[in-house]
Structure 1
């Protein structure tokens, strides 16, 4: 896909380093930053099958990881007993450890990783900003503020609940971002700087709410949760998150052609027959819903939506029909292993998973920028 000749000149962004301010195509570069064609459809199908197999294997291995010794045979017996197969049941304590604690936690990590990675890919296309993700643009911090307001202050607790509060906070933060950017050119630097301002504002509001509660134990627990933790995951929350994530991913994938158009600017998308205003609104609302559900369930986790889509582009190319499902798989695998690391790195003490996503995400993102020729 190439930009329409009639497209209005736009600012240079990091997603398309060959663009120039005068709207003309710049000479192709021969460095590693030059876009490369993605693999063939057959290769993508093979990669997809390998990705699914890697995710299943990652889930199985991650269930074993922890302070208590769990074997593959134990996992098979637990699953077999739940499926009504003729297997010898495990002792109740071990069975509960696997079924009620380990499996929901690992599956939640996979769902949240997939959701955040896809949200990052969508925001990077809609805003034409390679640094966009729910965390950096303030959506996660807004969702955190909304969830904390419900939990600590009881605002709307009976009517909307924690997930509803997180959704309201996410929409408020993103609405504020768009309001601040309404009269300015949407170049990469301005979007990032404005997103950081919104992020800091809602982070400060969250801290203010926690300080106002006056409960040291509650403040400590919520602060730990805000850094990202899969420990609270239970089957009820897994089912809700799975339903919302699956529905959101389907809606986003159905707009994959529109996202390809957005990557070249709103004018190009409009010239392709895309209803820019409606499509952008739908995609932003879906992104806010996915982010709010993730934050309400496990807290704010950064860098997944930032680094995963960039890494996937090196494998399958920039077209979103392939980029979105592969980002979901890669995000799921990444967060499953990161959560496993968070469980055992300083065992028996557990580190919030958001700490490790940042520690791993920063060098990985710098490596991606270097390979793109932007560092």
Structure 2
């Protein structure tokens, strides 16, 4: 029995799309169903390694504490916020007030999804990187605002050119989202860039929200800076960070927002109305992770795993004719595809011929056309198999 349902969902959903991701999953299932080979999925950037035994033990201990089963507070426990304060000082030499300048989040995506709702009204403009992580665009749609894309192009080191933003857009813009080290393009900032951001934001009265989820996944001695290290940054900005990638705690859903208290406050109000915060046992595990990192610098060798994978994959692909730049950070490779392909056609054909999933670049915005994103989420031996399959597929042949 079927019934007609004529009530329509919110128009806000029209601004949300996961079409390419959904299509890749559908095609992956079709290839798997044929049973010809196991599909190697380098699409989603989910860490494939577990947290350290110390973190898991802290979580296990906290789960057995009956005091941790009451409602937590949406702002995060004081112990959690004080530990974030100390970790930010240890890592970036940034001073924070745990009472007013830190807000706990159920993963940084929680805050990225809701920040615009606290600041953006219909007609307000948000400056969003293109290519960019999809939640940046979606958060603006949910808030009823308008996106103005900031093109990230290879010829400009994947940094936005503020001089190209029209005066009218500058006047109407209320919020700007940035992300370095970047997902999906794996770019990092050059010296002086954040100073340029601060000057631009001050001149035009624009809030800056910097997503720094990959601050601890950097290679060859590179140490990504915090936006808040820049003089004046805290006057106009905030920064998101997460324990998902740095400590392999993605499933725990624990992150935070730090910076200007006035910018944080509307998000805190929203969250106090929609959730009760992070399970206290998870917060205790996060505290253990950060405390161990401060007391034993360098023991979190997570980045070395990704560095080795990066080198094996890129060196191997280069040997068979697919050349790409080695990123200094993140768990991704942003790869320009051979001429004559669209991003979608290349990704679909690679899945069909080689059984390898990558994400078409246009899933992240118009400027992503001509690229694919490859996630370094498989062991070295599997990446070597990826190289072999791509070679045998002859997809790189002219």
Report the TM range for the smaller structure's normalisation: under 0.3
Structure number with higher relative contact order (C-alpha < 8 Å, ≥ 6 residues apart): 1
TM-score of the superposed pair, with normalisation by structure 1 = 0.27
Larger proportion of strand: 2
TM-score of the superposed pair, with normalisation by structure 2 = 0.26
